[in-house]
């Protein structure tokens, strides 16, 4: 005999028909211990993008880029998606490819061998083809573009760094989630800068709802070669102020987040946390939001060993 659940036992259904349906709608968690030296009227909230299937916020633009490309006819059945990646968005592409039935080729710069090893291994497990290119991310982008130029019927070049679907993913989704999760009380959003898609998209989406919300960027003092954290930002950008921190500072803050709040984040998350804590010290009140953009095991930078 089948037993009927009581109202107390019933929980919201988490069933999904596809893994890509689990991208987005990530939790928002308030920090407590790490904020003990700031005003009681300043709240810091962490949005756990690390809870996405691929372990980072880059799953969002990957899904949006793919869906928009198919809708516009740029990507067709039988074609291969190609893009330059140091890891994060590559995993997102690979998840979409495996789930939706298309091939993925990732052009990976030589210089990210150590830092991107875990992500590239995951992308390969998911079926992506990895091609190592000489030079940095710019050379990898050129390589990806050349493949699509030579065989346009075979390859779709996603070009995350200039593709408008990148910030669009965050304007239509991440920003909306943050606004509703904070019940419209969010006053500041802080993000590290890679392609700038997250910062630009979330910023635009939040300010559409409240023009008074401030958007601030964080970038490293050093060149990193990481697609989610670049010093020389040349693509999307939308911020009212820019903070700069060293990779050692970012690593220290990421460790602090893990040890004091129980939230494991990587070097990208640590960079954003540096910025939001600096901002919080200057305020008497506010609702501040940043993204736990990556998993600690995926972007365990050498700076963590300092």
For 98-137, write each residue's pLDDT tens digit. 999 999 999 998 876 555 778 888 999 999 999 999 988 8
Count Cα neighbours of 230 within 13 Å in the Cβ-side half-sphere: 20
Of 24-28, 45-49, 105-109, 225-229, the least confident? 225-229
State the pLDDT confidence band at 224, using cuts at 50, 70 and 90: low
The pair of structure tokens assigned to 194 is: 């890679």
Q: Which strand (E) or helix (H) includes residue 247?
A: helix 247-261
The pair of structure tokens assigned to 16 is: 């999904």
pLDDT at 13: 58
Domains, the chain, ordered by start: 19-51+164-305 (3.40.50.1100), 59-157 (3.40.50.1100)
Name 292's Cβ contacts closer than 8 Å, sequence gap at least 6: 46, 47, 48, 49, 50, 257, 263, 265, 269
Q: Which among 22-26, 137-141, 235-239, 248-252 has the top mean pLDDT?
A: 22-26
Please state the pTM of the whole predicted model. 0.89
């Amino acid at each position: 005999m089948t037993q009927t659940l009581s109202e107390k036992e019933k929980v919201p259904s988490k069933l999904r028909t596809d893994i890509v349906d689990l991208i987005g709608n990530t939790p928002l968690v308030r920090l407590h211990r790490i904020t003990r030296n700031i005003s009681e009227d300043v709240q810091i909230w962490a949005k756990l993008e690390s809870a996405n299937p691929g372990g980072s916020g880059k799953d969002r633009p990957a899904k949006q880029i793919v869906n928009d490309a198919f809708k516009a006819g740029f990507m067709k059945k039988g074609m291969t998606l190609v893009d330059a990646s140091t890891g994060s968005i590559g995993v997102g592409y690979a998840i979409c490819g495996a789930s939706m039935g298309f091939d993925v080729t990732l052009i990976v710069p030589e210089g990210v061998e150590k830092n991107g090893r875990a992500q590239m291994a995951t992308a390969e497990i998911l079926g992506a083809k990895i091609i190592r290119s000489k030079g940095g991310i710019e050379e990898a982008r050129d390589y990806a573009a050349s493949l699509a130029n030579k065989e346009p019927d075979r390859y779709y070049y996603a070009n995350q760094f200039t593709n408008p679907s990148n910030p669009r993913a965050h304007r239509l989704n991440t920003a909306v989630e943050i606004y509703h999760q904070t019940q419209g009380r969010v006053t500041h959003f802080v993000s590290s800068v890679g392609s700038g898609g997250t910062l630009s998209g979330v910023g635009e989406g939040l300010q559409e709802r409240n023009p008074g919300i401030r958007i601030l960027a964080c970038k490293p003092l050093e060149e990193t070669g990481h697609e989610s954290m670049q010093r020389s930002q040349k693509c999307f950008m939308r911020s009212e102020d820019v903070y700069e921190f060293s990779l050692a500072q970012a690593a220290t803050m990421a460790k602090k987040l893990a040890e004091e709040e129980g939230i494991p984040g990587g070097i990208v998350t640590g960079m954003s946390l540096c910025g939001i804590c600096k901002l919080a010290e200057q305020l008497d009140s506010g609702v501040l939001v940043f993204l736990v953009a990556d998993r600690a095991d995926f972007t365990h930078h050498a700076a963590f060993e300092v």
